[in-house]
Structure 1
Amino acid sequence: MSTTDYKFEGWVGHDKDSVGNLKFGTFEPKTWTEDDVDIKIEFCGICSSDLHTLRSGWGPTDYPQVVGHEIAGKAVRVGSNVKGIKLGDRIGVGAQSGSCLACEDCNKQKESYCANPPGMIPTYGGKYADGSKSTGGYANYARVPSHFCIPIPEGIPSEIAAPMMCGGVTVYSPLKQNNVGPGMNVGIVGIGGLGHFGLLFAKALGARVTAISRSRSKEADARELGADDFIATSEEGWVQKYARHFDLIVCTANNADMPLAEYCTTLKVGHGKFVMVGAPEEAITFSVFPLLMANVSIGGSLIGSPSEIREMLELAVKANVRSWIEVRDLKDVNQALIDMEDGKPRFRYVLKCD
């Protein structure tokens, strides 16, 4: 299929006040190559990254901008160099749509950490080697290099798969990298879009899972998601009760005022690890003494590789992992963004892109 009879249209952010104020219009996708796939978007999850980007919270955004990197849809144009994808296939796209594919990290299936030009190209807000712009999924179509298009297996509805493409794999990746399995104690900080996936996948991997939040307002949901235990950090005594308890804590929170030193005291001596996947807009400061006194570490994890997305989807089928979602119409995206900012979803909004 060498020509298209469709145009790329979607909801576009034009300035730092774009949250709740996107404008519908046409946009220019990346320059077509025979390594690319055009996707008729059916669903796109709303991620907190979309909010940060639309308001330039992580730095200046290159407006105009079409966000959305939790895409699920069907292939409607497939380049002649593409292997493993054919017209009509259900495919998903996460937070990355490009890398050099030749460096040591890419060859080790760590494409999200590619440092060679053009480097890690995000699905929106990035630039390809030819200077064309990457654009996201609040739209009718997306054009993405095939390496970053992931077949969606039978057994997962597209609306359930969409938020796994970023939110799901963002927590699955550090769980797998730290060999989470039976006999391990894992804590998940933050019971939101990312955190609910953390509970689901840590449980699916066989760990004993503790949900960690400021209050107990989400305790019932957390236990339904698979949490074996629950910590409310606003209550006294939790640090002492869980001292040197966790093999791993994955933090999905975006607030800079988290009790980071206290979290570190709950890690097991010698190997306990605290991994950030949330990204506060402000700097976090804390005392290093909990790290020194227990020989524990703090790390970070960006997103997940294409191979990890495939592996995660296979686990989701095997363990019947299902995203907790509320489907919203794409035409109502501005209100959905406002509701997202207000913390209303339980636990992911997914836009239906008719």
Structure 2
Amino acid sequence: GGYAEVIIAEARGIASIPDGLSSVDAAPLLCAGITTYNALRNAGLRGGDLVAVQGIGGLGHLGVQFARHMGFRTVAIGRGREKEKLAKDLGAHVYIDTAVDDAAAVLQRMGGARAILATATSGDAMGPLVSGLSARGKLIVVGVPQDPIQLNAFPLVFGGRSIYGSLTGTPIDAEDTLAFSVLENIRPMIETVPLEQAADAYARMMQGKARFRMVLVTKEGVARGASVNG
């Protein structure tokens, strides 16, 4: 792939950016945003359901915001007490520190999660979360781990729990994501970098130093943006 100031695309494949949303903010919402928004809204959830978001990074920090503003009881799952304030600032009602607590056990004490949005790219961390689901709960994988996800079949079979993946959506889904973000004042946490420094931005992202999305901007300023994603 690559990056440019101007592209030619079919009209049916583009999305309109609403007033009140900059291109710089829209760029990550059209990638990480649509991924997490669509995964949650297509999960058959109801307001008040317990929903957990595993990982507070490029995907997770948006997932927490969407979950809260969709009316779910929102739990953020991370590692390290230093992430608790950020998680709650983003809208989480509860933060689970996996360095101290077993996330699945805590979720079960809360009644079990109707859905867990797995965003952190660790198969070892995802598999045990199935035990934190309620009956017929869903583990939705949106982060792509390099290692296999190992599962205990018992909680899947006894309780009708499920695991599946979700990736992106249509241009209409993209516009829905942007419209909801404007309505609920949901924004990505970004770092902007000149287009000429795209390689540096990519390296920073691959090193895990981005907080949480790198956005390339042109010399004209922030009127255009492209999100750098792994």
Asked if these proteins are the same fold (TM beyond 0.5), I'd say yes
Deviation at 1:237, TM superposition (A): 4.4
Map Cα deviations across residues 116-162 of structure 1 (whole Å, 9 max, x no partner): xxxxxxxxxxxxxxxxxxxxxx2222222211110101011111111
* Aligned partner (choices 241, 251, 254) of residue 118 of structure 2: 251
CA contact (8 A) 1:180 1:205 kept: no
Amino acid at match of 2:122: N
* Aligned partner (choices 65, 88, 94) of residue 200 of structure 1: 65
The whole-number CA distance in structure 2 between the counterparts of 1:237 and 1:299 is 22
Q: Mark the runs of 5 or more structure 2 residues left unpaired by the alignment.
A: 220-230
* Aligned partner (choices 160, 178, 187) of residue 295 of structure 1: 160
Structure 1 partner of 2:95: 230
Is 1:141 the counterpart of 2:6? The answer is: yes
Structure 2 partner of 1:56: none
CA contact (8 A) 1:166 1:304 kept: no
The whole-number CA distance in structure 2 between the counterparts of 1:235 and 1:259 is 17
Structure 2 partner of 1:267: 133
Structure 1 partner of 2:225: none
Cα 1:346–1:147, aligned 2, differ >3 Å: closer, same or farther?
A: same
Deviation at 1:164, TM superposition (A): 0.4
The whole-number CA distance in structure 1 between the counterparts of 2:44 and 2:176 is 14
Structure 2 partner of 1:323: 188
Q: Secondary structure at the match of 1:274?
A: strand
Cα 1:279–1:237, aligned 2, differ >3 Å: closer, same or farther?
A: closer
Amino acid at match of 1:322: R
Structure 1 partner of 2:222: none
Structure 2 partner of 1:352: 217
Structure 1 partner of 2:228: none
CA contact (8 A) 2:104 2:133 kept: no
Q: Mark the runs of 5 or more structure 1 residues left unpaired by the alignment.
A: 1-64, 67-137
Cα 1:311–1:351, aligned 2, differ >3 Å: closer, same or farther?
A: same
The whole-number CA distance in structure 2 between the counterparts of 1:253 and 1:334 is 24
Amino acid at match of 2:105: Q
The whole-number CA distance in structure 2 between the counterparts of 1:143 and 1:282 is 37
Deviation at 1:214, TM superposition (A): 2.5
CA contact (8 A) 2:139 2:162 kept: yes
Structure 2 partner of 1:31: none
Is 1:153 the counterpart of 2:18? The answer is: yes
The whole-number CA distance in structure 2 between the counterparts of 1:245 and 1:199 is 17
The whole-number CA distance in structure 2 between the counterparts of 1:185 and 1:208 is 5
Q: Secondary structure at the match of 2:39?
A: helix
The whole-number CA distance in structure 1 between the counterparts of 2:126 and 2:58 is 21
Amino acid at match of 2:20: G
Q: Secondary structure at the match of 2:81?
A: coil
Deviation at 1:196, TM superposition (A): 0.8
Structure 2 partner of 1:314: 179
Deviation at 1:259, TM superposition (A): 4.5
Deviation at 1:321, TM superposition (A): 1.2
Of structures 1 and 2, the larger Rg is shown by 1
CA contact (8 A) 2:53 2:75 kept: yes
TM-score when normalising by structure 1 = 0.58
Deviation at 1:285, TM superposition (A): 2.3
Structure 2 partner of 1:167: 32
Deviation at 1:313, TM superposition (A): 1.3
Cα 1:237–1:275, aligned 2, differ >3 Å: closer, same or farther?
A: closer
Higher relative contact order (CA 8 A, sep 6+): 2
Moved over 6 A (4+): none
Map Cα deviations across residues 37-63 of structure 1 (whole Å, 9 max, x no partner): xxxxxxxxxxxxxxxxxxxxxxxxxxx
Q: Secondary structure at the match of 2:19?
A: coil
Identity %: 35
Q: Secondary structure at the match of 1:281?
A: coil
The whole-number CA distance in structure 2 between the counterparts of 1:181 and 1:203 is 12
Matches within 5 A, 1:67-82: none
Deviation at 1:234, TM superposition (A): 2.2
Deviation at 1:179, TM superposition (A): 3.6
Q: Secondary structure at the match of 1:154?
A: coil
TM-score when normalising by structure 2 = 0.88
